[in-house]
Amino acid sequence: DVVMTQTPLSSPVTLGQPASISCRSSQSLVHSDGNTYLSWLQQRPGQPPRLLIYKISNRFSGVPDRFSGSGAGTDFTLKISRVEAEDVGVYYCMQATQAYTFGQGTKLEVK
């Protein structure tokens, strides 16, 4: 099974400042079709998850451009250029290259 490891597990940030979350997979996420099926999800308190980024760096419909994704192979990063109050919640990476697994989640909270 592919294990997804996120760091940090908690990230206190100041509003208006950047934030970054890392996700590492135990195996390469490059699929035989050449794509890398690594997504980032946001879960606000009391809400279901919401897709932010798919295939490493593609923003989903309606997602603000302050969110960006990068990486390759086994190492991936979600960046928020300037954190807003509505960004508070838990962020998960998810791989869909080999079955489906999620990272443990990173809690983004305001200092």
Partner 1 sequence: QVHLVESGGGVVQPGRSLRLACAASGFTFTDSGMHWVRQAPGKGLEWVAVISYDGSKKYYADSVTGRFTISRDNSNNTLFLQMNSLRAEDTAVYYCAKSDTDGFGVDYWGQGTLVTVSS
Q: Is 96 in the site for partner 1 (CB under 8 A)?
A: yes
Smallest distance from partner 1 to CB 13, Å:
20
Q: Is 110 in the site for partner 1 (CB under 8 A)?
A: no
Q: Which DSSP category does 15 fall into?
A: T
Q: Is 67 in the site for partner 1 (CB under 8 A)?
A: no
Q: Is 99 in the site for partner 1 (CB under 8 A)?
A: yes
Strands (E), the chain: 4-7, 10-13, 19-25, 38-43, 50-54, 58-59, 67-72, 75-80, 89-95, 101-102, 106-110
Buried b (16+ CB within 10 A) or exposed e, 69-83: bebeebebbbebeeb
Q: Is 100 in the site for partner 1 (CB under 8 A)?
A: yes
24-43 residues near partner 1, rule: CB under 8 A: 31, 35, 37, 39, 41, 43
Binding site for partner 1 (CB under 8 A): 31, 35, 37, 39, 41, 43, 48-51, 54-55, 60, 90, 92, 94, 96-97, 99-105
